[in-house]
Amino acid sequence: MKPALVHVIGARPNFVKMAPVVTALERTEAFEQRIVHTGQHYDARMSDDILADLDFPPADHFLGVGSGNHGEQTAKVLAGFEEILLDCRPDAVMVAGDVNSTLACALAATKLGIPVAHLEAGLRSGDWSMPEEVNRVLTDRISDVLLTHSPEALDNLCREGIDPERVHYVGNTMIDSLRRCEQRARARALHRSLGLRDHDYALVTFHRPSNVDDPLRLARISAEIRDLATRHAVVFPIHPRTRARLVETGSMAGLEAAGVLCIEPVGYLDFLSLQAFAGAILTDSGGVQEEAAVLGRPTLVLRAATERPEVLQTGVVRLVGTDVAEVERTARSWLNSPPTAYVGTVTGPLRGSSHACHDGITALYMKSITPL
């Protein structure tokens, strides 16, 4: 009988990271793979559409936990996933990234004595005000196998006393998905259907509590985006959580009045298309930082720290922290500059980690998980 391996997905970043791994392991026919979707991202545009774009197989279980406070959401996933584990008793569980579902499912499995593998282990921002930092550190601590995307991740884990024998470098599977889907995404050229020219618009996306839950900071970011929109086109696919805060604080009406193209969240291929042709990107997303850097698109990160320092080495990604005024000023400068200055400049560790071979991932998973 094949060993049973449960993959946990719950939010957009998980889908993108896990898709190449599921495909690679499927080719080996060495495991009975089962997929549990926690439903942390449940909006069709942020879940069903993205999974379809990635050709992800249907989930075997859907927990439907929905949104909620961190404690509430984590508790729902923990309880729901434990029931599944007690029913099917898999040989191992694989979690990815750093969302609430990641920690909750790793904890449920660990308490039942089921080995856990953590994909994208070892990321560290040093910012404990970020819920994701708490999730990733605790998940690494209780996981049996740590699968890293960069050499820096191994250094982080070793500094925390993790046995290097538990760590395996598998490369950046998120970039595997990007490279597989890039041509299809570019062919869509979604920006042209919005009446925009190549490299002549800013793409905005933010959703982190530090940016949307502080009314003053949310108002300041919104003001800079409105100012930018008076000079350049701005496309803003709005996360449901962000939209709710913008409406509550009255900032939504101001953005729309300023001409910002406030659209609903889009699928994976459509968002990748918007990134590929943007003149500038404003984001607080970790995954978007990586994708934009690989695509060579100039990006401002609305955070004080990043768990992906390799993107800063590309020269196209810059942290702006709390200096919101730099957002409008720098984005306007980039949009007024020839975009060819940024295309093809990605070098260094990000490029190296983006070439993780699916067969290599498969071999490492088999080596790492089978003996557990």
Q: Rounded CA gap, 339 and 200, in Å?
A: 9
Q: How confident is the model at residue 211 (pLDDT cuts 50, 70, 90)?
A: very high
CA distances (Å), 265 to each of 18, 192, 256, 277, 366, in order? Answer: 21, 17, 16, 17, 36
Q: Among residues 307, 313, 352, which one has the least CA distance to residue 140?
A: 307
Are both 4-171+356-369 and 182-352 of the same fold? yes
Statement: residue 368 has pLDDT above 70: no
Choose the catalytic residue: 149, 207, 239, 358: 207
Q: What is the DSSP letter of 34?
A: E
- Average pLDDT in the 15-21 region? 91
Structure tokens at 372: 């557990």
Q: Rounded CA gap, 364 and 366, in Å?
A: 5
Structure tokens at 360: 């290599």
Contact 235, 192 (CB under 8 A): no
126-156: pLDDT as tens digits: 989 889 999 999 999 999 999 998 888 999 9
How much of the chain exceeds pLDDT 70, in percent? 89
Q: Rounded CA gap, 131 and 240, in Å?
A: 18
What are the residue boundaries of the structural domains of the chain, listed by start?
4-171+356-369, 182-352
199 belongs to the catalytic site:
no
Q: Rounded CA gap, 287 and 78, in Å?
A: 25
CATH architecture assignment, domain 182-352 = 3-Layer(aba) Sandwich (3.40)
Statement: residue 365 has pLDDT above 70: no
Q: What is the mean pLDDT of the chain?
A: 87
> How many Cβ atoms are within 10 Å of 366's Cβ, its own excluded?
15
Q: Dihedral of the CA atoms 285, 160, 120, 27 (nearest 10)?
A: 180
> How many Cβ atoms are within 10 Å of 315's Cβ, its own excluded?
15
**Statement: 4-171+356-369 belongs to CATH 3.40.50.2000:** yes
Amino acid at 279: G
Q: Can you give the pLDDT at residue 341?
A: 47
Statement: residue 345 has pLDDT above 60: no
Q: The tokens 């890293």 sit on which residue?
A: 148
